[in-house]
Amino acid sequence: MSVFAALQGLPSLDALVSGAIPAVVAITAWKAPCGRRLSSSLSAASLMVLAATAVNVSGTTEAHFLFFIMVPVVALYEDWAPIATASVIVVAHERVLGFFAPGHLYNHPAATAAPLQWTPFLSGLFLAICLTSTLHWRIHEHARTEERLLLDRLARQALHDPLTGLANRTLLHERLSQAVAASAAGTQPLLVFCIDIDGFKPVNDSHGHAAGDRLLAELGRRLQACIRAGDTAARTGGDEFTLLLPAAGTDTAGPMARRIMEAIAAPVHVAGTELKVTASIGIAIGSGLEDPEELLERADKAMYSAKHAGRERYFIHGTAITPGDQGSLRVHPDHARAWARYTRSLRAEIDTAKTKGTLPEQTRGPETARRTLESLLRAIDHLHPGPHHAELTLPHGTALEEFIFHHDLVQNWAEALVTQKILTQRMPATATQFWTELRQTLTPSQPPTGPGRGNRPVIETFPLS
């Protein structure tokens, strides 16, 4: 600016001052320890002072276009403060200098003769441009805000269960990985709770899925109320929940489990009906050296132990259960494994037949029977290899009784489908021997019982599908 002023014929001192003033304001905006709004206002002031100096030095009407050129630059701050600052400086410059020294602003005879008529026109035009820029900025700001809210909503939907509002599996795994890493770096363990709702299926069957959904939503709120601010409650299945408690001591496990069971057991009033359910809980204690999936599996196994031991209780993995706690069966490992292989092959063939359309799609069987099957298969997988007999840990009597009844229905149905050449899997003799021994664990006073005993099997109750 000083060079331009000197070229216009101003004395050296005046030229130096004309460039120093906007420079000082710009340096202040850049270096001063002030907030963003004040800094942007000072920057806008330096630009407008620079433009005003250029107008004064040139003394031409056309130089006023510098003000208009600066408006888009000031609008880049997207804040009303710098735009307001620029407007005040320009209007003050036009009104004051236009009144006292119009010759410094205009080289047009009509303008110097009637400056008070030109000044409002130029000031009003500048203010209109500033107002348009502000409106444009506000429209874009509103669009960005709406976009940000939409993205936040989509992100929440991607990471949370829509029914309960709790974390879903994706968010749980992310936080569990973070908690394991933090536990490995520190000294405090972490706790993982696997919670299964006892008696949820009868609620759906008797009161409808809408009542079941409201029950799950209420249970989700109760679980959220049981945990600390930094903990995570997640819904990981239909009636399964998982809690992650980072930096929680082992002495927290028992009291927290009892607190959860009390919260779940309290009646829930839905549509004038009082619903009551309980919870079976498995707990895994992590030291930071485990894989996150391993911790979830440990908690899941402990939950099944609690389920099989009679429900409405909790077990801690590693200390929860032994064969003597819930009964065992001395089996030949090869026979048990033959039954496990046959059962898995049959399940796979049924799924394939449904996919091809040779079997109709059916609903899942009782969740407890399916879980008992999964528990038995896992227990068989952990039997020691070799020809010697081994002790196979069995589920609680009630769960085993229910499973045997439903699995008998499945077997009868599967054999009928083999006869019809819809399925091909037949139970080998060694697997039949294991199944016979398992059925004999029920005492004569406890024959397999269940809905529809003696009637034609109902496919929807099959745990294999």
Q: What is the CATH number of the domain that holds 173?
A: 3.30.70.270
Instruction: Enumerate the H helices of 330-396 as residue ranges.
Output: 333-356, 367-381
On the 0-12 / 13-18 / 19+ scale of CB atoms within 10 A, 252 is: middle
pLDDT of the residue at 196: 93
Mean pLDDT of 187-216: 88
Q: Quick check: 215 and 268 in contact, CB under 8 A?
A: yes
Average model confidence (pLDDT) across the chain: 76
pLDDT at residue 297 is higher than 60: yes
328 and 308 share one domain: no
Tell me, yes or no, whether 189 lies in a domain. Answer: yes
Domain count across the chain? 3
SS3 sequence, 83-151?
HHHHHHHHHHHHHHHHHHCHHHCCCCHHHHHCHHHHHHHHHHHHHHHHHHHHHHHHHHHHHHHHHHHHH
Bridge-based pairing of strands 240-245 and 268-270 is unpaired
185 and 201 share one domain: yes
104 and 59 share one domain: yes
Tell me, yes or no, whether 156 lies in a domain. Answer: no
Q: Quick check: 421 and 427 in contact, CB under 8 A?
A: no
185 and 311 share one domain: yes
437 and 314 share one domain: no
On the 0-12 / 13-18 / 19+ scale of CB atoms within 10 A, 429 is: exposed
Tell me, yes or no, whether 158 lies in a domain. Answer: no
Residue 178 pLDDT class (50, 70, 90 cuts): very high
Angle formed at CA 193 by CA 191 and CA 196, multiple of 5 degrees = 175
Mean pLDDT of 64-79: 66
Q: Which of 283, 300, 319 is the last residue of a domain?
A: 319
Mean pLDDT of 424-445: 81
Q: Which of 319, 343, 372 is the last residue of a domain?
A: 319
Beta bridge partners of residue 268, listed in sequence order: 275
Tell me, yes or no, whether 154 lies in a domain. Answer: no
pLDDT at residue 84 is higher than 60: yes
Q: Which of 319, 339, 370 is the last residue of a domain?
A: 319
How far CA 63 is from CA of 9, 52, 56, 220, 235, in Å, comes to: 17, 9, 9, 68, 68
Angle formed at CA 352 by CA 349 and CA 357, multiple of 5 degrees = 125
Model-level pTM?
Answer: 0.48
Q: Is the dihedral of CA 57, 59, 65, 68 positive or negative?
A: positive
13 and 134 share one domain: yes
CA dihedral 70, 71, 75, 76 (to 10 degrees): -30
311 and 432 share one domain: no
Q: Quick check: 232 and 170 in contact, CB under 8 A?
A: no
Tell me, yes or no, whether 152 lies in a domain. Answer: no
112 and 211 share one domain: no
Residue 219 pLDDT class (50, 70, 90 cuts): very high
105 and 201 share one domain: no
Strand, helix or coil for residue 163: coil
Q: Quick check: 79 and 40 in contact, CB under 8 A?
A: yes
Rounded Cα gap, residues 418 and 188, in angstroms: 56
385 and 426 share one domain: yes
Tell me, yes or no, whether 49 lies in a domain. Answer: yes
Tell me, yes or no, whether 365 lies in a domain. Answer: yes
Angle formed at CA 317 by CA 316 and CA 319, multiple of 5 degrees = 75
Give one word for 249, left, alpha or beta, with left for phi > 0 and alpha for psi -120 to 50.
beta
184 and 303 share one domain: yes
Structural domain containing residue 200: 169-319
337 and 436 share one domain: yes
Residue 456 pLDDT class (50, 70, 90 cuts): very low
Tell me, yes or no, whether 151 lies in a domain. Answer: no
